[in-house]
A and B are shown apart, each in its own frame.
Chain A
Amino acid sequence: MTRRPLRVGRLSWRVRPRAVTLCVTGLVLLVLLMALNMRIGEIDMSLADVLAGTFDVNSPAHFVIMELRLPRALTGALVGMALALSGAIIQSIARNPLASPEILGVTTGASVAVVAGVVASGSVNSGVSGLLATLGVPALSLVGGLLGAAIVYGLAWRRGLDGYRLVLVGIGVAAVFTNVKFWLLTVGDVNDTSRAMVWISGSLNARGWEHVVPTALALVVLVPVTLLGARSLDALRFGDDTVTALGVRVNLARALLILAAVLLAAVATAAAGPIAFVALAAPQIALRLARTAQPPLLCSALVGGVLTTGADLIARIAFSPIELPVGIVTAVLGAPYLIHLIWRSRK
């Protein structure tokens, strides 16, 4: 009873009731957390005010909700989903639960680019503010992330893309980027370093529609692509030879899926910085909750959204009025939960 095929004409899908339940629960939880998140701000509102502000144009809260709070909540949810989906794809392809967009060079490349930008312009432009914050940092991050991924991809490609070689090349490139980042942090003024640290940790502070739109577009385009590729992804875990024999064009499928993962991670990082741990933990949490062999894609994305939004909520209220970067809390929240799941799975 765990797998009922759903048939429409000649098409059929496998449906796992457990995964469906998980997805629905995740979605409800996500919306609830977003609503709770939108309550907080300079003036705290009730949930009713939030609802009215979202859907009633004449509500006094309408402007604040639509211009400030909704875009921030949406950025958090979408970025979390994009990162988690990216992680799920990479973990499936690398057949390695430790893999994350980091080994594709995306997040590390973005970090180097942004830290370099902040350190170079720090004392001149008073750090991450003004034009640099709204345009410069996301652009630097996007360029750095894609460049990093291109380097990893280019170096790992040799008559096809081997998952194992990709991981090893990724380690090497990530080591270079990470240490260059460490070095840049020692070069700059300690104030600039602190500012760069906030971005490196991943922050949702002051995110607006300009951050929501690119992330949403990326998800709208890439989620269907990824789901189409999910069958190949399922097959890829059996090893290249078996998969080729099963009639999957291994290299093409893998290349497209990796491209999707790179784009998702790059766009998400550009919007909110390299939020730690979501891409790694969300797929592993989803996999254990859904009891599947491989990270379930949609469930992973929703777990990622819930994790990020929940973490942002805590980041804002834990030490209020000081707001922690969300990336610090994702790990504080996600790590114990993952540990709990590992502990539970011993039975």
Chain B
Amino acid sequence: MSAATVAPRLHGIRQRRLTVLSALLGALAVAVVLSVTIGSKSVPLADAWHALTSPTGTENDIVIRSLRVPRTVLGVLSGVALGVAGALMQGHTRNPLADPGLLGVTQGAAFAMVSSIILLGVDSLLAYIWFGLAGALVASVAVFALGMVGGRGGPTPVTLALAGTAVSALLAALTSAVVLLDEQAMDVFRFWQAGSISGRSADVVWQVLPFILVGLVLAMINAPGLNALSLGEDVARGLGQNIPMTRTVGVAAVTLLSGAAVAACGSLAFVGLIVPHLVRPLSGTDHRWLLPYSGLVGAALLLFADVIGRVVAPPGELEVGVVLALIGAPFFVALVRRRKPVRL
């Protein structure tokens, strides 16, 4: 193929990718608008705009500013974080079963939370989240260290995945033991476990924001290296990749992103499991596009699911994790059945 024919084709691909990107951004914008306006008390769009630009302290203003906006922002942040983390994790482990919880973040967060309840008598949401974050980070560092010593010359996908599963299983068992012994811990744990973004104040958003931002930057830095790695380690080394470095940056990004999201919203890690599979047919296997697409789809999916959860079972709400599973998973299965899956 001559250079003259390659250039227009590349241009076409680029065009298509930008189109998809703007479509996904549009979908996310719609989700954000719905999330701000719809709920047990629906607020007209004009009032919502008024509440955001020039609040006067009406009931709608309070609902929007203190409940809906933090909830929506947290949903977007967590959705982006989980989508990107899932795509990174599957890329690094080259395993379609890998979810961002694979490094032990979910179980680490859960165990730290329930332990803080029975050992220290902690009883505020903000404090749980700090403990959850710490637990998530410690667990994934432990997994990474194990994978590191287990593999030859840096963590290999299989040892990383197995070490993560082993540590997760261990922590999950300890968590079950704690919640079986203590009913108060059980009560907090079961609601956290179901996964929810409701009832989180703006403080929670500020709490997780720095972790997610740093994680996103690391993820995008990691994308080209991950592309090289997916050609196989030997090829990547031949292309001049520092493999242990690439892996470390990737794992650090996954840890920050998924740790923050899971600590704040509960076990939603399977968002990260499903989203990359949904996105791969659109993006192909180029991580520079797969990661942002996954982030946008993750956020839109999480918000749509949350909105549906608010209206589907009045007067109560259905946890976003449950709605996500009920809607996202069948969609995912249908997609897997219809297309030949894009293999990792």
Interface, chain A (partner B; CB < 8 A) = 96-99, 103, 155-156, 158, 164-165, 167-169, 171-173, 175-176, 178-180, 182-183, 185-186, 190-191, 193-194, 197-198, 201, 276-277, 280-281, 284, 324-325, 327-332, 334-336, 338-339, 342-343, 345-346
Q: Does B149 contact A (CB under 8 A)?
A: yes
Report how many A-B pairs have Cβ atoms within 8 Å. Answer: 171
CB-contacts of B287-344 with A (<8 A): 318-319, 321-322, 324-326, 328-330, 332-333, 336-337, 341, 343
Bound complex: CA of A198 vs CA of B186, how far in Å?
12
Chain A's closest residue to B152 (CB) is A346
Segment at the A interface, from B30-38, B58-66, B72-80, B169-177: B169-177
Q: How far is the CB of A204 from chain B (nearest CB, A)?
A: 15
Residues of B within 8 A of A186 (CB): 190-191, 194, 319
Bound complex: CA of A158 vs CA of B318, how far in Å?
34
Known pairs A168-B96, A182-B195. 18 more at Cβ < 8 A? Answer: A96-B97, A97-B158, A98-B161, A155-B337, A165-B341, A168-B277, A171-B270, A172-B330, A183-B322, A185-B190, A194-B179, A198-B180, A328-B177, A330-B173, A335-B169, A338-B166, A343-B150, A345-B150
Option from A156, A193, A276, A325 in Cβ contact (under 8 Å) with B172: A276
Q: Does B122 contact A (CB under 8 A)?
A: no
A342 close to B159 (CB less than 8 A): yes
Option from B165, B186, B326 in Cβ contact (under 8 Å) with A280: B165
Chain B's closest residue to A170 (CB) is B97
Bound complex: CA of A78 vs CA of B159, how far in Å?
29
Instruction: Output the residue of B167, B173, B180, B321 with the most chain A CB within 10 A.
Output: B173
A98 close to B170 (CB less than 8 A): no
27 contacts between A and B (CB under 8 A): A97-B158, A98-B95, A98-B98, A158-B337, A165-B337, A171-B270, A171-B273, A172-B330, A175-B325, A180-B326, A182-B267, A182-B321, A185-B190, A185-B193, A190-B183, A194-B183, A197-B179, A197-B186, A201-B176, A201-B180, A280-B169, A328-B174, A336-B170, A339-B167, A342-B159, A342-B163, A346-B151
Bound complex: CA of A223 vs CA of B176, how far in Å?
32
Residues of A within 8 A of B139 (CB): none
A328 close to B169 (CB less than 8 A): no
B174 close to A332 (CB less than 8 A): yes
B186 close to A193 (CB less than 8 A): yes
Residues of A within 8 A of B274 (CB): 171-172, 175
Q: Does B202 contact A (CB under 8 A)?
A: no
Q: Does B252 contact A (CB under 8 A)?
A: no
Please give me the 6 A-B residue pairs with the lowest Cβ-Cβ distance, nearest first.
Answer: A179-B325, A331-B173, A335-B170, A331-B169, A172-B333, A342-B150
A194 close to B95 (CB less than 8 A): no
Q: How far is the CB of A179 from chain B (nearest CB, A)?
A: 3
B146 close to A332 (CB less than 8 A): no
B173 close to A182 (CB less than 8 A): no
Bound complex: CA of A185 vs CA of B195, how far in Å?
12
**Total B residues in contact with A, Cβ cutoff 8 Å:** 55
Bound complex: CA of A284 vs CA of B158, how far in Å?
11
Bound complex: CA of A183 vs CA of B330, how far in Å?
17
B180 close to A197 (CB less than 8 A): yes
Q: How far is the CB of B204 from chain A (nearest CB, A)?
A: 20
B324 close to A339 (CB less than 8 A): no
Bound complex: CA of A164 vs CA of B95, how far in Å?
10
Q: Does B123 contact A (CB under 8 A)?
A: no
Bound complex: CA of A169 vs CA of B96, how far in Å?
11
Bound complex: CA of A191 vs CA of B184, how far in Å?
11
Given contacts A172-B274, A281-B166, A332-B174, contact A182 B95 (CB under 8 A): no
Q: How far is the CB of A341 from chain B (nearest CB, A)?
A: 9
Bound complex: CA of A98 vs CA of B159, how far in Å?
11
Residues of B within 8 A of A335 (CB): 166-167, 169-170, 173
Chain B's closest residue to A166 (CB) is B336
Q: How far is the CB of A149 from chain B (nearest CB, A)?
A: 15
Q: Does B218 contact A (CB under 8 A)?
A: no
Instruction: Output the residue of B191, B270, B328 with the most chain A CB within 10 A.
Output: B270
Q: Does B286 contact A (CB under 8 A)?
A: no
Bound complex: CA of A329 vs CA of B191, how far in Å?
24
Bound complex: CA of A145 vs CA of B330, how far in Å?
19
Given contacts A97-B161, A342-B163, contact A197 B96 (CB under 8 A): no
Residues of B within 8 A of A194 (CB): 179-180, 183, 186
Residues of A within 8 A of B332 (CB): 168, 171-172, 175
Q: How far is the CB of A175 from chain B (nearest CB, A)?
A: 4
Bound complex: CA of A331 vs CA of B104, how far in Å?
14
Option from A169, A191, A328, A342 in Cβ contact (under 8 Å) with B336: A169
Chain A's closest residue to B164 (CB) is A98
Bound complex: CA of A287 vs CA of B192, how far in Å?
37
Q: Does B187 contact A (CB under 8 A)?
A: yes
Residues of B within 8 A of A343 (CB): 146, 149-150
Given contacts A179-B326, A182-B190, A183-B318, contact A171 B149 (CB under 8 A): no
Residues of A within 8 A of B166 (CB): 281, 334-336, 338-339, 342
Bound complex: CA of A103 vs CA of B161, how far in Å?
16
CB-contacts of B237-269 with A (<8 A): 267
Contact with A along B145-161 (1 / 0, CB 8 A): 01001111000001101
Q: How far is the CB of A326 from chain B (nearest CB, A)?
A: 10
Bound complex: CA of A171 vs CA of B270, how far in Å?
9
